[in-house]
Structure 1
Amino acid sequence: MAALLLRHVGRHCLRAHFSPQLCIRNWSLPMAMSICHRGTGIALSAGVSLFGLSALLLPGNFESYLELVKSLCLGPALIHTAKFALVFPLMYHTWNGIRHLMWDLGKGLKIPQLYQSGVVVLVLTVLSSMGLAAM
């Protein structure tokens, strides 16, 4: 009898999920921003590493590659969009990092403040990205 009970409990435990499944949870703004913060951190560190490796391994210097891009005669809309796409992850990670530093100080940890600071981070990210892309 005990063996049957153990076998039943074992089967039930194998089917049970020990961690929350992201596909069945409702996504909240702080949860999505936390995942994006980690993703931008990984992407930025990979980008810096690849840029450094390319500077070492590729022939020529930065000016020659800049001239190559200028010779493609890309439209200003495409160049502005590309600059915005490059600077957006950096600005998001920067502003959200400042938000994390405020949390380390014990500020803004209540749920309404989490959402407010999240919206502020997103607005500042878009505005600063547009400003830097316009340069």
Structure 2
Amino acid sequence: MAALLLRHVGRHCLRAQLSPRLCVRNAVPLGTTAKEEMERFWNKNLGSNRPLSPHITIYRWSLPMAMSICHRGTGIALSAGVCLFGLSALVLPGNFESHLELVKSLGLGPALTHTAKFALAFPLAYHTWNGVRHLMWDLGKGLKTPQLYQSGVVVLALTVLSALGLAAL
């Protein structure tokens, strides 16, 4: 909160080309706590009867918006999965081959096995292909609205094909 106020005061002083002495009146008074400043902020805003900021539910969801959220979610899920896999390798007895033999001995059937492999491969493939898409954006390519949707569809198609290919291995 204080950083935002300082930034505002600095910009106001630079824009008005005033001396710093004249801009001090906008600064936060010394000796106030963050809690007091937040109470003052909310009392001022609630007393003015201004509308609150709109919540995300009023926005119409678009493909780039949903894919951005999913990219973050798959990144978190993949990080958590790698951490859990590493911890389980340290804690559980046996080695990877013995765990693989245990899964094979369950006799789950090819349909369930391929579905599980697809479910594991899908986030990895999605995060990888969408990461390539983000790298292209960093290069300044594909930033127009139609291109955003086209690249989104391409990422989804490549994701499904890649996940199917990995699940078939």
TM-score (norm 2): 0.71
Q: 1:24 deviation in Å? A: 1.8
Q: Which residue of 2 aligns with 1:10?
A: 47
| Counterpart selection for 1:21 from 38, 41, 55 | 55
Distance, in Å, in 1 between the alignment partners of 2:163 and 2:45 is: 57
Aligned to 2:79: 45
Partner SS state of residue 61, structure 2: coil
Give, in whole Å, the separation in 2 of the partners of 1:46 and 1:78: 23
Unaligned runs of 5+ in 2: 1-42
Q: TM-score, length-normalised on structure 1?
A: 0.89
> Relative contact order (C-alpha < 8 Å, sep 6+): which is higher?
1
Match of residue 89, structure 2, among 44, 47, 55:
55
Greater Cα radius of gyration, structure 1 or 2:
2
Q: Distance in 1 between matches of 2:134 and 2:47?
A: 41
Structure 1 unmatched ranges of 5 or more: 1-5
* 2:58 match: secondary structure: coil
1:10 CA displacement: 2.3
Q: Are 2:133 and 1:111 aligned?
A: no
Match of 2:10 in 1: none
| Residue-pair matches, total | 127
Q: Distance in 1 between matches of 2:44 and 2:114?
A: 63
Q: Pairwise mapping of residues 69-88 of structure 1 onto structure 2 (< 5 A)?
A: 69-88=103-122
Structure 1 pair 107–57 and aligned structure 2 pair: CA distance change class (3 A)? same
What are the Cα deviations for residues 54-75 of structure 1, in whole angstroms up to 9, with x where unaligned?
Answer: 0001111111111110110011
2:12 is matched with none
Identity of aligned residues (%): 78
Determine the structure 2 residue equivalent to 1:3. Answer: none
